[in-house]
Amino acid sequence: MGNSCMLSFFFLCLIGGLGLVKEVKGLACNWGTQSTHPLQPKIVVQLLKDNGFDKVKLFEADPGALKALGHSGIQVMVGIPNDLLAPLASSVQAAINWVQQNVSDYVSRYGVDIRHVAVGNEPFLKTYKDTYLQTTFPALQNVQAALIKAGLAKQVKVTVPLNADVYQTDSGLPSGGNFRSDIHDLMISIIKFLSDNLSPLTINIYPFLSLNADPNFPKEYAFFNGSAAPVVDGSITYTNVFEANFDTLISALEKNGFSSMPVIIGEVGWPTDGDPSANAENAQRFNQGLLNRIFQGQGTPKRKTPLDIYLFSLIDEDNKSIQPGNFERHWGVFYFDGALKYQLDTGNGKSLVPAKGVKYLARQWCIMSPDASLADPNLANSISYACSYADCTSLGYGSSCSRLDARSNASYAYNMYYQTMDQRKGSCSFNNLSVVTNQDPSQDTCRFEIMIDLRKQETAPRRSLAGKIQNSTMGLILLLLLIINGAF
């Protein structure tokens, strides 16, 4: 998942801080920043601390996030986006400059406890069609050389977060695991390099995506306390896909002479919206099961030691690509504003607590006017326009707002646009079809948002053109759904 990932997930690390496991401490999670209305970094850091997270993974060297993490006691894995792999691969000096600007400066000037540099993000995904095959390993080598030159190589370890599709099993059992034939030699070269430099391999595993991709996948096998028929592999019995997936990797490492290679699970989690299987109930069930394993120091049948796991994700990101699916914007344990989606027992009788100090826009919403007609010829275009600039993924099939009637559908689209545009004057003007109200139009599971007031927060990044294109596609899909439902 990450910033452009398809098969990933995110939230945990482990627990020595709670006194249950000595090898690891605290919880770990991913912090993505692709939001139109991001939380102030210092609020996010406090959210991490309040909920027992002492490790965090960033997908890029975001200045606001890194500065806020200074002297926080939180260990940081800082990522390098895939679009930087080519320049870093072509020049050691480019890698030296990157490390100086994004690692050394933050360590020395701000006291950021950077422990890992993640070179790329799932660069060998099949959907990337070999785009990064030639640049990932050279970039990794150059970044390592730059860390050595900066005198940081003992403290800061390189890694490459990879999707679980880099390995497979022809037998269908974990014991048959090996690396994909098309990248086998490259994977071995990377793993040997990481091993030689005492660095870990990082893998993203997503049981949700296993379930989502296969209509015949047994749902219970995606959860840790499921009742699905177990998978028997010789003397080992697997009761969930997470363990089976991870042990497939361990088998691949063993076959190629790296049985003791340290592995970080860089992303694992469950989304709460954008798909029939993505809801708070399933997310709570999966993530609580994952946390319980961490608290118990539980490994897998082939690797008994506690696993180093980063939960995906801390907060929702409404500006992420939805190419993998509408659920991409809803992986957060918290909503975009740090509000609770559901509760989790985080150990020692503690529960999740929401973000503090969040400032919102005025308590008002933009809805379809009671006087407007569903037969109005401007209605279809107005909805499409609104959803081309705002996130309407919650209206999709099986999502949290999918049960709204046609009028409420239009209201949701109008309001998302209105809020995304910071409630600016004229942003609730859709050919006289809309009106501002002070009454919350939220219904059942459908949450009509009020955005964070960016004037009272730090400057937020502008929406990307890619995000607008993705939303435009979503708007057309929703329009078709409305037509099918007889709204037009």
Would you kindly state where each structural domain of the chain is located, as residue ranges? 27-334, 365-456
321-376 confidence digits (pLDDT tens): 999 999 999 999 999 999 999 999 998 889 999 999 999 999 999 999 999 999 99
Tokens of 15: 């627990």
- Chain-centroid distance of CA 118 in Å reads 15
Helix (H) or strand (E) holding 178: strand 177-179
Question: Looking at the predicted structure, is the pLDDT value of residue 445 above 70?
Answer: yes
Across the range 53-79, mean pLDDT stands at: 98
Strands of the 161-163 sheet, one edge to the other: 157-159, 113-119, 75-80, 53-58, 27-31, 308-311, 263-268, 201-204, 161-163
70-92 confidence digits (pLDDT tens): 999 999 999 999 999 999 999 99
> Which of 309, 243, 247, 311 has the alpha carbon at shortest distance from 283?
311
Query: SS3 for 202?
Result: strand
Residue 220 is given by DSSP the state G
Across the range 98-102, mean pLDDT stands at: 98
Q: How confident is the model at residue 481, as a pLDDT?
A: 52
> Which of 240, 204, 65, 200 has the alpha carbon at shortest distance from 125?
204
Across the range 131-144, mean pLDDT stands at: 98
Tokens of 292: 């319980």
Q: How confident is the model at residue 1, as a pLDDT?
A: 57
Instruction: Please give the torsion angle defined by the CA atoms of residues 145, 147, 148 and 151, in that order, rounded to the nearest 10 degrees.
Output: 160
The CATH homologous superfamily for domain 27-334 is Glycosidases (3.20.20.80)
Question: Looking at the predicted structure, is the pLDDT value of residue 5 above 70?
Answer: no
Catalytic residues: 122, 267
Q: How confident is the model at residue 226, as a pLDDT?
A: 81
pTM: 0.89
Write out the E strands in 362-445: 365-368, 434-437
Q: Do the beta carbons of residue 33 and residue 57 sit within 8 Å?
A: no
* pLDDT confidence band for 123 (50 / 70 / 90): very high
* pLDDT confidence band for 15 (50 / 70 / 90): very low
Question: Looking at the predicted structure, is the pLDDT value of residue 459 above 50?
Answer: no
Q: Do the beta carbons of residue 68 and residue 44 sit within 8 Å?
A: yes
Amino acid sitting at position 240: N
Q: Do the beta carbons of residue 302 and residue 242 sit within 8 Å?
A: no
Q: How confident is the model at residue 475, as a pLDDT?
A: 55
Q: How confident is the model at residue 473, as a pLDDT?
A: 56
Show Cβ contacts of residue 354 under 8 Å, excluding neighbours closer than 6 positions: 47, 334, 338, 339, 340
Question: Looking at the predicted structure, is the pLDDT value of residue 106 above 70?
Answer: yes
Residue with tokens 């994909």: 180
